[in-house]
């Protein structure tokens, strides 16, 4: 009966939250509520344009669409990721050093950082190129395929599981885990979502515990072995699984959505696709950077004031949150000329914030950039006539933005055998 009571209470809380969002979003036109609903998933940029550069939210916090203020908050050490004095990890999911302020953040991040060094990235380029070509061989043979499960997901999943030392990784299974965990960043949406989140957590926990035991007996040249070797010194036993889950999920979710968003933008701007096809090697890196600015995989993050802060004349009190709307900041006309235009030849006037900034600047960003660059280059070289074959279907999240399905086709048709 106690379990039933908890389940009923949980369902009632979710139902109440949903009603609250629907009321304030659709009836009161509250922009932060709309960002959690279908309009925010379909086109958050239209909502951002109607928001103040810095203003209060209905829950007593602050939100900013300003590139300058977002950058300031993300870099300012007077802001952190936790409420002052709070202990423990996120109520939704323990995301390791992403959820922590110094000194714990510094200690844990330092352990992961070497795996994403320039030397490591140079060593991974041939593997990434081979993986992309193998996946595109299969896709070309089909002629019509879904870009997400055919390329955007298996590429980064294969690379990050190899980097970690996860054998025989099932790309489809890990993609489902990533979707469930990434969706939880918005909050748990339903009892079904909660059950899937618990199942993903349990499966990943069991996987990594088995790998820890294996690497204690037989160390290898992988990141899990280095984490095991640091156990009890640089990392505590209870911190090991959350770190591996973070590195796994963050290590592919960003790239999946980056590749998907890039090709969606190309389809919407065929002249930009033509420019990339004309010079794949020269323009692929710029196409990745413009996608990160124009339609970033992560749309917003939050910081909490660790002390009273005056921000452009606005009194942010200790314990108040500032929502940094990264997607809006990356289209701020004060930072970027003609910001709503997708232009892979754009002259840089400011750094985009797609990978955040400050001490929480994405540790895996070199790998995401490399994977997406190789993928776009090889798509342009091998499938210059690539086009849509059906409607894009987006994931059910307002924070993590990207397609869960993007059907495409090449101009080549398979010959039927009679």
> What is the tens place of the pLDDT at every residue in 145-181?
999 999 999 999 889 888 888 887 777 787 777 777 7
Q: Is 9 helix (H, G, I), strand (E, B) or coil?
A: helix
Handedness of CA 176, 116, 110, 354 (dihedral sign): negative
Query: Residue 417: inside a domain, yes or no?
Result: no
Q: Please list the residues that pair with 303 across neighbouring strands.
A: 322
- Residue 56's DSSP bridge partners are 62
Share of the chain above pLDDT 90, in %: 55
CB 132 within 8 A of CB 154: no
Mean pLDDT, residues 77-87: 79
Q: For residue 416, tell me if it sits in a domain.
A: no
Total domains present in the chain: 1
In a domain, 136, yes or no: yes
Name the token pair of 219: 């160390």
What pLDDT is attached to residue 370? Answer: 96
On whether the CB atoms of residues 287 and 265 are closer than 8 A, the answer is: no
Contact (CB, 8 A) for 148 and 406: yes
Asked, for residue 211, whether it belongs to a domain, the answer is yes
Q: Highest mean pLDDT range out of 78-92, 244-258, 272-286?
A: 272-286
Q: pLDDT tens for residues 109-129?
A: 999 898 888 888 888 999 999
- Let me know: does 334 contact 74? Beta carbons within 8 Å: no
pLDDT at 413: 47
CATH number at residue 121: 1.10.630.10
| 414 within some domain | no
pLDDT of 173: 80
Domain that holds residue 299: 2-409
Model confidence at 406, in pLDDT bands (50, 70, 90)?
very high
Euclidean distance between the first and the last CA atom of the chain, given in angstroms as a whole number: 63
């Amino acid at each position: 009966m106690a379990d039933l009571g908890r389940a009923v209470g949980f369902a009632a809380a979710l139902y109440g939250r949903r009603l609250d969002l629907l009321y304030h979003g659709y009836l009161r036109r509250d922009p932060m509520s709309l960002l959690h609903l279908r309009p925010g998933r379909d086109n958050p940029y239209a909502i951002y344009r109607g928001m103040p550069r810095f203003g209060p939210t209905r829950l007593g916090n602050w939100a900013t669409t300003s590139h300058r203020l977002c950058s300031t908050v993300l870099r300012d050490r007077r802001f952190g990721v936790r409420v002052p004095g709070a202990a423990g990890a996120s109520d939704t999911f323990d995301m390791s050093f992403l959820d922590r302020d110094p000194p714990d953040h510094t200690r844990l991040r330092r352990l992961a950082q070497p795996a994403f060094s320039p030397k490591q990235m140079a060593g991974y380029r041939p593997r990434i190129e081979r993986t992309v070509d193998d996946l595109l061989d299969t896709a070309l043979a089909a002629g019509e395929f879904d870009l997400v499960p055919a390329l955007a997901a298996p590429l980064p999943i294969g690379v990050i599981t190899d980097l970690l030392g996860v054998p025989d990784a099932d790309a489809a299974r890990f993609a489902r885990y990533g979707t469930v965990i990434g969706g939880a960043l918005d909050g748990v949406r339903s009892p079904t979502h909660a059950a899937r989140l618990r199942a993903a957590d349990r499966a990943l926990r069991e996987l990594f515990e088995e790998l820890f035991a294996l690497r204690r007996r037989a160390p290898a040249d992988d990141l899990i072995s280095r984490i095991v070797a640091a156990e009890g010194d640089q990392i505590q036993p209870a911190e090991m699984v959350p770190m591996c889950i973070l590195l796994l999920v963050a290590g592919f979710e960003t790239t999946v959505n980056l590749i998907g968003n890039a090709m969606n933008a190309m389809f919407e701007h065929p002249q930009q696709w033509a420019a990339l096809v004309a010079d794949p090697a020269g323009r692929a890196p710029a196409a990745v950077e413009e996608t990160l600015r124009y339609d970033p995989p992560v749309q917003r993050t939050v910081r909490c004031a660790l002390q009273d802060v005056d921000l452009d004349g606005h009194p942010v009190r200790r314990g108040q949150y500032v929502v940094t709307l990264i997607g809006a900041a990356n289209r701020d006309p004060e930072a970027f000329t003609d910001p709503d235009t997708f232009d892979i030849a754009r002259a840089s006037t400011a750094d985009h914030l797609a990978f955040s900034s400050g001490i929480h600047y994405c540790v895996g960003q070199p790998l995401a950039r490399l994977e997406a660059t190789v993928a776009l280059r090889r798509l342009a070289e091998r499938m210059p006539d690539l086009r849509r074959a059906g409607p894009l279907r987006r994931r059910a999240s307002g924070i993590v933005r990207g397609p869960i399905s993007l059907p495409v086709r090449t101009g080549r048709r398979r010959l039927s055998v009679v």
